Amino acid sequence: MKAFKYFVLGITIISTMLARSIEYKNDRSSIEKSEADSSQINFKNLVDDDAYKFDGKISKRVLENYLSRAITIQNLLTGQGNLQDNIRMIKHIGAKFIGRALCLWNAERNFSNNVQRAREIAPQVLGAVPDVILEACVFETVSPQVNEIAIPARIFTAFGLPVEKRNFRYDDMIYPEGQRRPMGRNAQVPDESRLETQLWFYYQAITYIDLGCEAIHFGQVEIMNKNDPDNTHWANLFSMVREYAATHARRHMVLCDGHTPSGGLMHDGNPLLDLNEFPLRIKEVSDKPEEAILQLGFSDGIYNKSKGGITVNGWQCKHLPYLVEFDNYGMSRHPGKPNTQQGGFDWIWGYDEITWFAHQSKEYRDKWLWYAWNWVKKTDPNGHLEMPGERVCASPDIHWYYANNPSQAVPDGMGDEETIREIWSSKTNSSKK
């Protein structure tokens, strides 16, 4: 009887939402929508009971349910922003996949302290929202500071190597002369085919799994494999990470993802990653100040390019599900000016994607989130928009973007959480595949 009441309640809520008729124009600069109040929506009634259940393996349906509720909250686990308000926002909007929750660029810098901080914070987040997936990052950069980190005995043992008492070796991780590529200040892109890099990446990955993270973003995976043409070394590393997760992760598995401009990191004709991720690749409208759109075929966007096959979870797909995110990569020398006059990188009015977005008015941000959400779904149903929740910006006036409602706890909050909640609650995204 109780289950029947909840079923009726769920149908009533959905019917009410449909009656509100959220309308939009799939236009490059605006989407008209209703002002319906969704403050009383119970997200639990909008999805199947098993919509977010997995253990050891994850089905395509459940994976896509998580991706349809993905949001970036950069360095949530190291205390960026207000922790309690971030937990409140996660629960309020119904977020399920927290991208870049542990985002340690050049992780070797202050590694132990950051891990300890995450060890204190992760239980608080997971205690409040137990079914959420927290994503950590293993990036495409390494600096000489990695020489200061001792290699635990268990890392040698995992690789079948004699245990040594030594630190990691930076020089044994980077590409040889002639292949090197700087990546940040006094840092280089690591060569993932080298054993030392694999030791370092594996150590990071299992450390993050031990903290409770169930997804790991491996950065720009396709710039680290110059000496691994068939991705055999990537395959071996991912296999070891997944093997560790099978006995140590919260739900006995870990999702591996990375930026894949080619459409996928493949080995023996099948995807190595559980999902792809990529920047949105936003294109400025040069004759309309500050406006921007999404366009199929612009730059190296991933739309309609995600490669499929037999996944590590056992199901087959023509196109692997993927996330597109508001990327951060800096500010140009011409902020506020159109890129066509200056040439060069994919700047949006002189900024990276999240910094451009943060500079827009509240009204335009609301409209643009609706626009982007619908554009991605219409253009490629395999893609999912990762909402902006918290991310570093690159301008003197805005250092961090916060989607939180403005309050004493988050005075710089931009108040976009209500729009995100409204978009996510506009229809159920738990497919019946």
pLDDT tens-place string over residues 273-284:
999 999 999 999
CA-based nearest residue to 379, from 295, 279, 255, 310: 295
Which residue carries 């349809």 as its tokens? 68
SS (H, E, C) 298-330: CCCCCCCCCCCEECCCCCEECCCCEEEECCCCC
Residue 236 burial (C-beta neighbours within 10 Å; 0-12, 13-18, 19+): middle
Strand partners, 98: 71, 134
Comparing 11-15, 87-91, 297-301, which segment has the lowest mean pLDDT?
A: 11-15
pLDDT tens-place string over residues 91-144:
999 999 999 999 999 999 999 999 999 999 999 999 999 999 999 999 999 999
Residue 97, H or E segment: strand 97-102
For residues 369 and 388, what is the distance between their CA atoms, to the nearest angstrom? 9
For residues 140 and 218, what is the distance between their CA atoms, to the nearest angstrom? 7
Angle between helices 417-424 and 362-379 (to 10 degrees): 30
For residues 284 and 41, what is the distance between their CA atoms, to the nearest angstrom? 35
Which residue carries 């490629």 as its tokens? 380
φ, ψ (nearest 5 deg) of residue 201: -65, -40
- DSSP letter (8 states) at residue 46: G
Token pair of 170, please? 């930076």
CA-based nearest residue to 124, from 72, 76, 69, 73: 76
Q: Tell me the mean pLDDT in the region 318-322.
A: 98
Token pair of 182, please? 């700087």
- DSSP letter (8 states) at residue 405: P
Q: Centre a 10 Å sphere on the Cβ of residue 74 and count the other Cβ atoms it contains.
A: 24
> What is the radius of gyration, based on Cα positions, of the chain?
22
Three-state SS at 234: helix
Amino acid at 24: Y
pLDDT band at 309 (very low <50, low <70, confident <90, very high): very high
Q: What mean pLDDT is reported for the chain? A: 90
pLDDT tens-place string over residues 375-410:
999 999 999 999 999 999 999 999 999 999 999 999
pLDDT of residue 15: 42
pTM, to two decimals: 0.88
pLDDT tens-place string over residues 327-377:
999 999 999 999 865 556 799 999 999 999 999 999 999 999 999 999 999
pLDDT tens-place string over residues 173-202:
999 999 999 999 999 999 999 999 999 999
Amino acid at 87: I
For residues 92 and 402, what is the distance between their CA atoms, to the nearest angstrom? 15
